[in-house]
Amino acid sequence: MKKILLSFIALLLILKAFPSHACGIVLDVKGDVRVTRDGKSSPVKFGEWVRHDSTVSTSKTGTISFLEEDTIVTIGPDQHFTMGKALPPALQRLEIEGLKLVLLDASEATSQKSSTAKMALPPTGKGGSIAASASMFGVQGLFPLHTVIDPVETLIFRWFYTKPATWTPSVIIEQSDQQKLAILPQVRKATKASVLAADVGAKPGREMFWYVAEWLSNGTINMKTPRYRFRFLATEDAERLARDLKALTALKLPARAMRILESQLYYKYGMLQKMIDTLRPLHAKGAGSAVKDLLYFGYLRIGLIREMEKYR
């Protein structure tokens, strides 16, 4: 319960730091481009925020492209503008239907002075509040956690131990009504289990739950983790996602800019783990604070507090 409460507090703190309007993520920058905020000037960096009331100046050879909600804006050389006010004529302005900043969704959802940290949903998502995956008895799940996943031939479940285990784990897979679809016995200290998706009746759009438990000799189950929800991407959503990704490819943007845009699409379809996996290589290569914040938010959203802390 303490970890769940901390996750709520963490969400409120991160949202307080992120403006809910006139805020963009830098997708590409060429030449000398500087940003000034609160009297401090610094070079613009890929993957960082262009925040409300920031003043951006491009040199005679500088250009900047940033994502603002669902629009990619490119500003040319020798321009001076302030976010939240009228922008200069853009070299390019591309609107991508359905693309929206992850954190804008979250900040809009918490702007109603709710006493709980209720989350905005991706258009195709389910659920709503922050997911809790804190360990109950020294075990915590890793994947899949409260997310939509690609249709796969083999389901792979991963977890880790927060303290030494003296028992043998089993992975239990259930339907929403808690009817058991499979019980996967493992060896002592196992951290992974797999099963053919077809063997548990998996199909596009279907929702399932899993948890780690100890299978006792009297036939009862001693749960060691919470129940983790996941859902397979529905066929129609998979088709729409493929079209959306194809439309992004047609823009012929730099590869790292594409990764940020792709991460927003994965969020749109509730594929939170896919969003995280897309952003992690950018962070590893030194992308700006916006990428780090998105990773923090992604791990917070799926409830993986241990990983979230790495991006605080």
- pLDDT bucket at 230, cuts 50 / 70 / 90: very high
What are the residues facing 160 on neighbouring strands? 140
Higher pLDDT, 178 or 127: 178
Closest CA to 59 of 73, 72, 76, 40: 76
* 98 has a pLDDT exceeding 70: no
Tell me if 65 sits within 8 A of 27, measured CB to CB: yes
Helix (H, G, I), strand (E, B) or coil at 221: strand
> Does the global pTM surpass 0.95?
no
Mean pLDDT of the chain: 84
State the DSSP code for 32. Answer: -
* Residues 170-180, mean pLDDT to the nearest whole number: 92
Percent of the chain residues topping a pLDDT of 70: 82
User: On the CB side of 88, how many CA atoms lie within 13 Å of its CA?
Assistant: 17
- pLDDT bucket at 309, cuts 50 / 70 / 90: confident
State the DSSP code for 144. Answer: S
Higher pLDDT, 69 or 179: 179
Whether domain 139-229 has CATH 2.60.40: the reply is yes
Q: What are the residues whose beta carbons fall under 8 Å from the beta carbon of 166, sequence distance 6 or more?
A: none
Question: What are the two backbone dihedrals, phi and then psi, of residue 291, each rounded to the nearest 5 degrees?
Answer: -65, -40
The confidence score (pLDDT) of residue 188 equals: 93
* Residues 109-131, mean pLDDT to the nearest whole number: 44
- pLDDT bucket at 107, cuts 50 / 70 / 90: low
Tokens standing for residue 205:
């759009």
Higher pLDDT, 176 or 266: 266
Q: In 10 A of CB 129, how many CB atoms?
A: 12
Helix (H, G, I), strand (E, B) or coil at 126: coil
CA distance 22 to 306: 31
State the DSSP code for 136. Answer: S
**Per-residue pLDDT tens digits for 31-79:** 999 999 888 999 999 999 988 889 999 999 999 999 988 888 899 999 9
Tokens standing for residue 229:
């929800």
**Per-residue pLDDT tens digits for 264-298:** 999 989 999 999 999 999 999 999 989 998 998 89
Q: Where in the chain is the domain with CATH 2.60.40?
A: 139-229
CA distance 91 to 97: 20
| Residue 164 Ramachandran class (φ > 0 left, ψ -120 to 50 alpha, else beta) | beta
